[in-house]
């Protein structure tokens, strides 16, 4: 199972994001957290910053929209050139229609779930998506402790994908580190958001490689 490490720039130095991105050349994608201070109690960046980042990196951008009314705002991120756009089902009015619009714009469409949101009501919709993002912390802030009670939900999601013969990534976001990534891959995840673990390291790119190697080696042996 391929493994992808997607460092979150939420924990990077916002005064010089280009330089921070250049510190992690081994990243598979760059995870960009867009927060509106309504859906979550934090305010980060929006479309203008994303458009600027697209001009200074060839890395694919993995947008995580923690915003109200993604039906209205999400397509613009795909149109701008984001490789993947995640929106939260708790905020979307028409998730299937939105997923199809994102795909039509050339982006991967991803369904985001807060910790308290079960996967079961959305199993019949999986074919409309390219990824399921399972939050392993409450969305809104970086540096939170990994919620291991989310591991059963990751397992149920992986089993549902296998049963349907679908080809979806499972991304975990929140508290991913050297001490938690084994549990995530054992449960069935393959795409990992790591923020503070990467950008608090002395060598962020070495940490990206360490996380990937750990996940790959665990997957081989287990």
* Binding site as annotated, residues for substrate: 8, 64, 140-143, 173-175, 195-196
Query: Distance between CA atoms of 204 and 202, rounded to whole angstroms?
Result: 6
Choice among 33, 36, 62, 190 that is catalytic: 33
Residue whose C-alpha is closest to residue 194's, from 26, 70, 78:
26
Query: Which residues make Cβ contacts (< 8 Å) with residue 155, sequence separation at least 6?
Result: 187, 188
33 tagged catalytic: yes
203 tagged catalytic: no
* Binding site as annotated, residues for a divalent metal cation: 31, 33, 64, 173
Residue whose C-alpha is closest to residue 60's, from 88, 21, 96:
21
Beta bridge partners of 63: 32, 85
Residue whose C-alpha is closest to residue 149's, from 131, 126, 174:
174
Choice among 28, 36, 173, 190 that is catalytic: 173
Q: Is 88:132 a contact under the CB 8 Å cutoff?
A: no
Residue whose C-alpha is closest to residue 34's, from 51, 55, 56, 15:
51
* Binding site as annotated, residues: 8, 31, 33, 64, 140-143, 173-175, 195-196
Query: How many Cα neighbours within 13 Å face the side chain of 25?
Result: 1
Q: Is 77:50 a contact under the CB 8 Å cutoff?
A: yes
Q: Is 57:18 a contact under the CB 8 Å cutoff?
A: yes
Beta bridge partners of 173: 135, 193
Positions marked active-site: 33, 173
């Amino acid at each position: 199972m391929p493994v992808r490490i997607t460092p979150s720039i939420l924990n990077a130095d916002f005064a010089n994001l280009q330089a921070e991105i250049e510190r992690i050349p081994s990243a598979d994608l760059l995870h960009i957290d867009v927060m509106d201070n309504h859906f979550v109690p934090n305010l980060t960046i929006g479309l203008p910053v994303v458009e600027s980042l697209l001009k200074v990196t060839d890395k694919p951008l993995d947008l995580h929209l923690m915003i109200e009314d993604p039906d209205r705002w999400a397509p613009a991120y795909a149109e701008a050139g984001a490789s993947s756009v995640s929106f939260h089902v708790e905020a979307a009015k028409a998730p299937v229609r939105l997923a199809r619009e994102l795909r039509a714009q050339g982006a991967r469409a991803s369904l985001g779930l807060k910790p308290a949101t079960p996967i079961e009501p959305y199993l019949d919709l999986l074919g409309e998506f390219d990824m399921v993002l399972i939050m392993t912390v409450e969305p809104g802030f970086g540096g939170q402790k990994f919620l291991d009670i989310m591991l059963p939900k990751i397992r149920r999601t992986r089993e549902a994908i296998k049963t349907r013969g679908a080809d979806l990534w499972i991304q975990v976001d929140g508290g991913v580190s050297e001490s938690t990534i084994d549990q995530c891959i054992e449960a069935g995840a393959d795409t990992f958001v790591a923020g503070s673990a990467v950008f608090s390291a002395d060598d962020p790119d070495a940490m990206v490689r360490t996380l990937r190697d750990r996940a790959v080696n665990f997957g081989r042996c287990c």
